[in-house]
Each structure stands twice: as C-alpha cells, then as structure tokens.
Amino acid sequence: MNVRRLIPSTAVAGAVVLGLTALSACSTSDAADGGNGDKLKVTASFYPMQFLAEKIGGEHVAVTSLTKPGVEPHDLELTPRQIGSISESDYVLYLKGIQPAVDDAIKQSGVKNTVDAATLTTLENHGSEVSGHDHGKEGDEHGHESEGAHEEHSEGDGHNHGEEGGADPHIWLDPVKYAEVAKGVGTSLEKADPDHAADYQKNTDALVAELGELNTAYETGLKNTATKTFITTHSAFGYLAERYGLTQQGIAGIDPEAEPSPARIQEIHTIAEKEKATTVFFETLASDKTATTLAKDTGLRTGVLDPLEGITDKSRGADYIEVMESNLAALQKALGAK
C-alpha cells in the first residue's frame, strides 16, 4: 500500500489512518518530499505519543516508537542504538514520569524540539479511592516536574490526597486531556516544521473533533449505571474515573504485575459487596493471574480494560480510538449501564 508519496495535502486527514504502517516503516531517504526536503524524523516514547505524532504529522513525518508493541512501557530499557536514534531525531515526543530510562536519554540527547506531553495539560494526584494505594510511590520513582503538576485541584478535590510527588501521568486515558495534549503537539509541530503548518493544524483539528466525539460517547454511555465503582489490577484510570464520575479501585497500585496484600484483597471484597461491583479488570500487556485469583476469591467476573500503553494482536481495536470504544463497552457492561 504505497500511498504515502502521492497524497495531496487535502487528503491528509483521511490518509493518516491508511498510511500509519507505511509511514512508520518508511525511511526518510526514500520519502524525499519534492523540494521540501525529507520527512521530519519523529521519535515517540510509547504508543499514546506515537498515535498523536502519526495522526497530526500525517504524510510529513516518519515516526519511530521507542517502545515495541507488547512491551510494558514502565519497564523499558533502551539499547545504545535507540539512545543514538533519539539524538538523530528532528522532534521527540514523550511523557515524563512514565519511563525513567526515556526521560534520562532525552535529557542527554541535545535535541532542540523535545516536547513533554505532561506540560501540555495539568497533572493531578489521584488518591487511594481513585487510583490504588501505591500510586504515590510512582511519582517518587519517576520525576514529575511538569508545569501544572499541582494545579487544577478544584474539580477533583475529593481525589487529591496530597501525596507529594504522586502526580498521575496517565492523561491519555481521558479524551479531554488527550485533546489538550493533541493541540499542544500540533502547535509544536507547526513550529518545528513551519512549511507544513497548515496541514498540521488541519490534522490537529480533525483529531480533536474525533476525541470530542469519544468524550461525548463516554459521557452518554456512562451517565446511568447501576454502580459507579470498578476494580482494576492497574491503577491507570484515575483521570477517566474522575472525568465521568466513576470510582476506580486499584488492587495493587501503579505496577500492573504487583501482588496485592491479603488485607487489600479483603478490602476489595468488602468494597465490591458494598458498591455492587461486578468485575475485576486486567489489561492486555500484563498477566491476568491477580485478577483471576481475586475474582475467584470474591465471586466477581473478570474483564479487559486496556490502559492503551501499546497496541498488539490482542488489543481490542486497531488504534487508540477503537480500543477506547472497546473500553467504554467493557465499562458499560461491568457498571450495568442502562
């Protein structure tokens, strides 16, 4: 499907979806863009950043992701070759606080156009009833000095327990925050590559509109439910829970592989009974052992809620939008949407 060099700029928005695979695999040398020079070499830290770069960059960028499909991003170790490729990039898009190895490599890369998605929206602290008991420790391990890390507490005062350093980085799971990031990425790509600014603007507008539709679908789909509480092995859904008036109960905090304590399992059992929760969610990139054990002990069902840190053959959708739609369907079922 060699469409990438023949697409007129008016068709960029539609062609982005078609050309994702071709674009990411395409080397800059074979994609000389007439008189405009090569494609912009973009390095993205992991899938949510890659998706933004590809959708907004369209035919003008060649995107490489540092995190291969199926790799748990929090655990990523970079090869010397990957570290070298960061330095050779024209533009780097990452999310500080998710991948310490990436944060360090970018700091040392000397690339002028580096964009930390965490600075494009406001981060919040999510306390125990939203994001599991161990969320605070994540911020201590992974730096969090983003602008606004301790702002915007008004809408979520019940959720912020002042765990200093515990800013939750999972902003992409809230379509509204992700749209804010998309706008910032669009603006920064326009500055990095002004020749194609009009296309970046148009692609950004199209993506923001798509995310707006996704937000509406979540608002409508989760408005009337039998319960507002869901249980998950990976405490990634604090922003999503807050946006749509839900309560996330994380079994073991931020680390999807962590074993919960017997006391926490008992606590989850009590919460499930009291809040009429039906389902323990696990994710596609981690083992379902904890969820299965807990479900057996508590008589709950298991289901998949994907934190969208990577797309694999097991993902319930081909891209961010499709997987988020699958997540919505899973939540509606678990929460008893009317």
Are 92 and 185 a contacting pair, CB within 8 Å?
A: no
Average pLDDT, the chain: 80
How far apart, in Å, are the Cα atoms of 218 and each of 33, 97, 134, 315?
40, 27, 27, 19
335 contact partners, CB below 8 Å, separation of at least 6: 222, 225, 226, 227, 228, 229, 230, 246, 278
Highest mean pLDDT among 33-47, 77-91, 240-254, 291-305: 77-91
Q: Both tokens of residue 5?
A: 């060099």
Percent of the chain with pLDDT over 70: 75
The reported pLDDT for the residue numbered 131 is: 34
Q: What is the pLDDT of residues 227-266, one digit of tens each?
A: 999 999 888 999 999 999 999 998 866 555 667 788 888 8
Higher-confidence residue of 337 and 167: namely 337
pTM: predicted TM-score of the whole model, two decimal places? 0.78
The reported pLDDT for the residue numbered 70 is: 87
The reported pLDDT for the residue numbered 288 is: 79
Cα gap 179→52, rounded to integer Å: 10
Over range 37-65, report the average pLDDT: 96
Statement: residue 4 has pLDDT above 70 = no
3-class SS of residue 264: helix
**Terminus-to-terminus CA distance in the chain, angstroms?**
43
Q: What is the pLDDT of residues 117-128, one digit of tens each?
A: 999 999 998 754
Burial class (CB in 10 A: 0-12, 13-18, 19+), 43: buried
How far apart, in Å, are the Cα atoms of 87 and each of 5, 43, 109, 161, 214?
26, 10, 5, 39, 35
Higher-confidence residue of 23 and 333: namely 333
Percent of the chain with pLDDT over 90: 61
Burial class (CB in 10 A: 0-12, 13-18, 19+), 158: exposed
Annotate 183-227 with three-state secondary structure. HHHHHHHHHHCHHHHHHHHHHHHHHHHHHHHHHHHHHHHCCCECC
Higher-confidence residue of 287 and 50: namely 50
Residue 110 φ/ψ, nearest 5 degrees: 75, 10
Window from 23-32, 40-49, 173-182, 236-245 with minimum mean pLDDT: 23-32
Higher-confidence residue of 65 and 5: namely 65
Packing angle, helices 175-192 and 47-57, rounded to 10: 60
Statement: residue 163 has pLDDT above 80 = no
Higher-confidence residue of 253 and 323: namely 323
The reported pLDDT for the residue numbered 115 is: 98
Helix (H) or strand (E) holding 107: helix 100-109
Annotate 2-32 with three-state secondary structure. CCCCCCCHHHHHHHHHHHHHHHHHCCHHHHC
Statement: residue 113 has pLDDT above 70 = yes
Q: What is the pLDDT of residues 311-321, one digit of tens each?
A: 999 999 999 99
Q: Both tokens of residue 174?
A: 């809230």
Q: What distance lies between CA 334 and its chain's CA centroid?
A: 22
How far apart, in Å, are the Cα atoms of 71 and each of 77, 109, 155?
10, 23, 34
The length of the chain, given as a count of residues: 338
How far apart, in Å, are the Cα atoms of 264 and each of 36, 155, 236, 294, 307?
58, 28, 18, 10, 22
